[in-house]
Chain A
Amino acid sequence: SQQGEEDPQALSIQEGENATMNCSYKTSINNLQWYRQNSGRGLVHLILIRSNEREKHSGRLRVTLDTSKKSSSLLITASRAADTASYFCATDRYNQGGKLIFGQGTELSVKP
């Protein structure tokens, strides 16, 4: 079973707009990670936020974490057509040896 739920399931925006994806989870975590997947194959690690962090930036990516609400959001600013992909959040839970549990993903489409 999946740990997290993501919304929206699908998001379609125009180039230059910002895209926000949300992730909720159920149990206490060590950290939460976001991954990107093109064409249903290998996933690429984007960013990791630890449980004691509230916000983190990497280039055009901004991630927030609210452990009291057990939720996270990923913001992609100034989106590009090349950002079109599926985005997944994954949680690293306590005492699980680094095993990640993935959400269902958000399918992002950025139109030129």
Chain B
Amino acid sequence: GAGVSQTPSNKVTEKGKYVELRCDPISGHTALYWYRQSLGQGPEFLIYFQGTGAADDSGLPNDRFFAVRPEGSVSTLKIQRTERGDSAVYLCASSPYPGQGVGYTFGSGTRLTVV
């Protein structure tokens, strides 16, 4: 597609529920990144994929968070047993060449609210 698409744009869920956030990157971009941003803060790295594999998942806060990219394009960020502290904007970005000094293209984000 023309840009990075994230769905849903807003998600409200109850504490303890499971949620999935979807990212559809720019076609042909091999690198895909997930970030989380709390109000007034900069984006915080969660995980990035080169193709289908997670090249670096060091930013995932705990084992309730998991992400997949089974076919090397669309990615899903999965959060189990959500907590109020998970409320944030979740941002996805893609780039054509990881580590080659090309800027990211970001999606508009999913605002997750856990009540």
Say yes or no: A100 contacts B45, CB within 8 Å: yes
Q: Closest Cβ of chain A: how far from B7's Cβ, in Å?
A: 13
A42-B91 contact given A97-B48, A103-B42, A104-B41, CB 8 Å threshold? yes
A97 touches B99 (CB 8 A): yes
Contact surface of A with B, Cβ cutoff 8 Å: 2, 30-31, 33, 35, 40-45, 48, 50, 88, 92, 96-105
A45 to B106, CA, bound (A): 8
Binding site for A on B (CB under 8 A): 4, 31, 33, 35, 37, 39, 41-45, 48, 50, 55-56, 89, 91, 93, 95, 97-109
Instruction: Decide if A45 touches B104 in the complex (CB within 8 Å).
Output: yes
| Cα distance, A31 to B103, chains bound together (Å) | 10
Residues of A within 8 A of B101 (CB): 30-31, 48, 50, 92
Tell me which residues across on chain A come within 8 A of B104, comparing CB atoms.
33, 35, 43, 45, 100
Report yes or no: B45 in contact with A98, Cβ–Cβ below 8 A.
no
- For A104, what are the chain B residues with a Cβ–Cβ distance below 8 Å? 41-42
23 contacts between A and B (CB under 8 A): A2-B44, A31-B101, A35-B103, A41-B89, A42-B4, A42-B106, A42-B107, A43-B91, A43-B104, A45-B104, A48-B102, A96-B56, A97-B31, A97-B55, A98-B48, A98-B98, A100-B33, A101-B45, A102-B42, A102-B44, A102-B45, A103-B42, A104-B41
Smallest Cβ distance from B5 to chain A, in angstroms? 11
The answer for the CA separation of A30 and B100 in the assembled complex, in Å, is 9
* Complex contact B33–A41 (CB within 8 A): no
Q: How far is the CA of A14 from the CA of B40 in the complex (A)?
A: 23
CB pair A98 B89 closer than 8 Å: no
